[in-house]
Amino acid sequence: MTWPTTRLTDLLGIEHPIIQAPMAGASTPALAAAVSNAGGLGSLGCAIQTAEVFRSDIGATQKATNRPIHVNFFAHEAPTPDDAKAARATELLAPYYEELGLGDVPPAIATHFPFDAAMLDAVLAVRPQIISFHFGLPEEELVRAIKDAGIILLSSATSVREAVDLEKRSVDAVIAQGWEAGGHRGTYLSSFEGARAGTMSLVPQVVDAVNVPVIAAGGIADGRGIAAAFALGASGVQIGTAFLTCMEAGIPDIHKEILLKSSDDDTRVTKAFSGRPARGIVNRYIEDMAAFENDLPDFPLVNTLTGPLRKASAARGEGDFIALWSGQSVGLNRAMPAGELFDKLVEEAQSVLQHGNK
């Protein structure tokens, strides 16, 4: 088995079939450019940005690399306001606001929005080579405009059912997001209880069900994982958590420190930070809220409520209230510059594919 020139490298116009995951809030222009310049696909998580910040970030990235770039947005359904849930959330969070000296809990309003026509205009103005969505796809008209502009379209599936749906709706490749993955689960059609297949199960079943290339995501953190993904039939991989301890990642230092001392059984999936299930290192907030997750308002309203707690916690250098997003392979994380990590990933994967593990 040799290093594959895969259908994915052809499709994306990149040298190595390795995508740095677009992680909203963590994927800086410096991180994306370092990965693209190393021959992979650098990505920006733009879901919680205004159009202005989006333009500034992609401008900085395009200045730092002339290789393909990938931008990611959310395609969630807009939340249904619920006064009872908002009141309950205020009651649950008020003690933490008091403890951190933050005053009153703010109103449960949305501060970021599903991908829309205005954001489409911002995207078409700067023409990234690749766009992806999480939580499904935006409405058909927006999808058609993206395809018509010649931008490669990707989205995440957490089940075979979702992968088949995405292919029908004309994605160019499917990201099969296994249970191991850090951050938000992309689930949008299957139930959250059902769509928990690990990467080892999800990838071959998705490969058998669709004709487009499949990108394996979740639990891939070194060359062994990359080689394993190819064995499962993937045409490429998407790697997130492993890049979070790179110097270019835009997360608080305490988040990086905690990642570097965490292991396989330290993560949990919680709805308590945003209103949707997402994986991070278990901390005081996740433990406290475990019994109340379903009492909270819809995604992304909760995000507005936890924002001040997350910021204050980071400012104190404490991990108690930060969303310490992390996948289950966190025990494999290494602190190094992104370009150096990328080269290592390629070298390790090639070695496993050529010589096996001894």
Where do contacts with a copy of itself occur on this chain (CB under 8 A)? 1-2, 4, 158-161, 178-180, 190-191, 193-202, 204-205, 207-208, 218-222, 224-225, 227-233, 263-268, 282, 327-329, 331-332, 352-357
Least spacing, CB of residue 223 vs a copy of itself, in Å: 9
Cβ-based nearer residue to a copy of itself, 75 or 226: 226
The strands making up 173-177's β-sheet, listed across from edge to edge, are: 18-20, 236-239, 214-217, 173-177, 152-157, 130-134, 69-74, 42-45
Least spacing, CB of residue 294 vs a copy of itself, in Å: 11
Cβ-based nearer residue to a copy of itself, 106 or 198: 198
**Whole-angstrom distance, CA of residue 151 vs CA of residue 145:** 9
Cβ-based nearer residue to a copy of itself, 4 or 25: 4
Q: Is 258 helix (H, G, I), strand (E, B) or coil?
A: helix
- Both structure tokens of 55: 């333009």
Least spacing, CB of residue 29 vs a copy of itself, in Å: 29
Least spacing, CB of residue 83 vs a copy of itself, in Å: 25
Nearest to 41 by CA among 23, 72, 18: 18
Long-range contacts of 124-127 (CB under 8 A, 24+ apart): 124/149, 125/55, 126/55, 126/58, 126/59, 126/62, 127/151
Least spacing, CB of residue 186 vs a copy of itself, in Å: 13
**Whole-angstrom distance, CA of residue 96 vs CA of residue 160:** 40
Contact in structure between 157 and 132 (CB atoms under 8 Å): no
Least spacing, CB of residue 238 vs a copy of itself, in Å: 13
Cβ-based nearer residue to a copy of itself, 274 or 326: 326
Q: Which residue has the tokens 């496993």?
A: 352
Cβ-based nearer residue to a copy of itself, 29 or 213: 213
Cβ-based nearer residue to a copy of itself, 36 or 158: 158
What one-character DSSP code corresponds to residue 336?
S
